[in-house]
Amino acid sequence: MSNNDIQVKEKQEAVASAELTKPGPVFTPAVDIFETDMEIVLLADMPGVTPDSLDIDLRENTLTLSGEVEQADHGEEIEILTEYEVGKFYRQFSLSEVINQEKIDAKLYNGVLRLSLPKVEKIKPRKITVSAS
């Protein structure tokens, strides 16, 4: 898997449902989402986002990720080549499972967010053994 070359992907500009008060580009982070019996795990690439500037919000079934990236002050620098832009990250998901809100765990490492959303106990699939009488 990792022997392939990474293909360049343009950063996707997010389509905001409402107009933003703060100007600047907003991008959609690339995510992986997988599900196990116990939890749903979401991994998102958010380079430049710090734990303080990341906001994760779960309200009813809507999960909102929003990460502010500071427009770094580059002093007297003059741009020669610009291949990517820096901006905020924003993405919303609607969850089909009931999540145990108290056990949500989020880690941010190297610009990647790992969010684990444990499922509520009762909807875990349970194997029912049929006993012969």
Partner 1 sequence: MIYRRFIDFPKMETGNPFADLERMKHHMDRLLGNLSEKRSRRAGSGVFPPLNLSEDKDGYFVRAELPGVNVEDLDIQATVNTLSISGQRTLPVEDENAKYHRREREAGRFSRMINLPDAVNADAIEARLVNGLLTVKIPKSDMAKPRQIKVN
Please give the residue ranges that form the binding site for partner 1 (CB under 8 A): 1-10, 30-37, 41, 43, 45-50, 74-85, 108, 110-112
78 vs 130, which CB is nearer to partner 1? 78
∠30-32-38 over CA atoms, to 5°? Answer: 150
CB nearer to partner 1: give 34 or 130: 34
Nearest to partner 1 of 19, 133 (CB atom): 19
Residue length of the chain: 133
The Cα 46–Cα 88 span in angstroms is 9
Shortest Å, Cβ 46 to partner 1:
7
Least distance in angstroms from the C-beta of 100 to partner 1: 18
DSSP one-letter code for 51: G
CA–CA distance, 68 with 66 (Å, rounded to integer)? 7
